[in-house]
Amino acid sequence: MLPLFIMPFATHILVPTDFSDAAKLATDAAAMLAKRLGTHVTLLHVHDPDGLRAPAHLAYSPTREKDIDAEVRAWIDQRLAELRDSTFDGVDVTVAHIADESPAHAICAHAEKVGADLIVIATHGRTGLKHLLIGSVAERVVRHAKMPVLTLRSNAED
């Protein structure tokens, strides 16, 4: 067994992404940590399935709604694969895509499910009215996660 000061503090990193510039900061940091520590990474995207529902006045057929859902899921899966391939060279990465109306809940639950022992997440750094109206997924993850959470504040405007 390695002495405590040599053992890595994480063996499995979960890094959620919303594909924003802010999230790129977290994926880059997670990739750097994973390369240095030799850890596994789970790259996760959570989308709100209700966000894909058409307003009632458009009255999409159930078939059209399924088609739209499939298109969105395919786009998300493609973006996850591109991000994995462009950022995590030489790192063991699993990609995951979850539909849930609460991204923070889904992130925490998935981290537990896959045995992640560190979550690396970016925060947009919103304050005031924007924070009050939009809230912070990162803040809720920090409050509810059962493992350490590394938050990285981004100054990206997205």
CA–CA dist 67, 60 (Å, integer): 10
Report pLDDT for 69. 84
Asked if residues 121 and 110 have their Cβ atoms less than 8 Å apart, the reply is no
The tens-digit pLDDT sequence of the chain (158 residues) is 555 555 567 899 999 999 998 899 999 999 999 999 999 999 999 998 876 565 655 666 778 778 888 898 999 999 999 999 999 999 999 999 999 999 999 999 999 999 999 999 998 765 554 444 445 888 899 999 999 999 998 776 65
Using alpha carbons, list the distances in angstroms from residue 113 to 12, 105, 110, 144. Answer: 12, 12, 5, 14
Within 5-136, residue ranges assigned H as helices are 21-37, 62-87, 103-114, 128-134
Report pLDDT for 55. 61
Report pLDDT for 113. 98
Report pLDDT for 131. 46
Token match 């040599």: residue?
6
CA–CA dist 77, 24 (Å, integer): 16
Domain ranges of the chain: 12-150
What pTM does this model have?
A: 0.84
According to CATH, the superfamily of the domain at 12-150 is HUPs (3.40.50.620)
CA–CA dist 20, 30 (Å, integer): 15
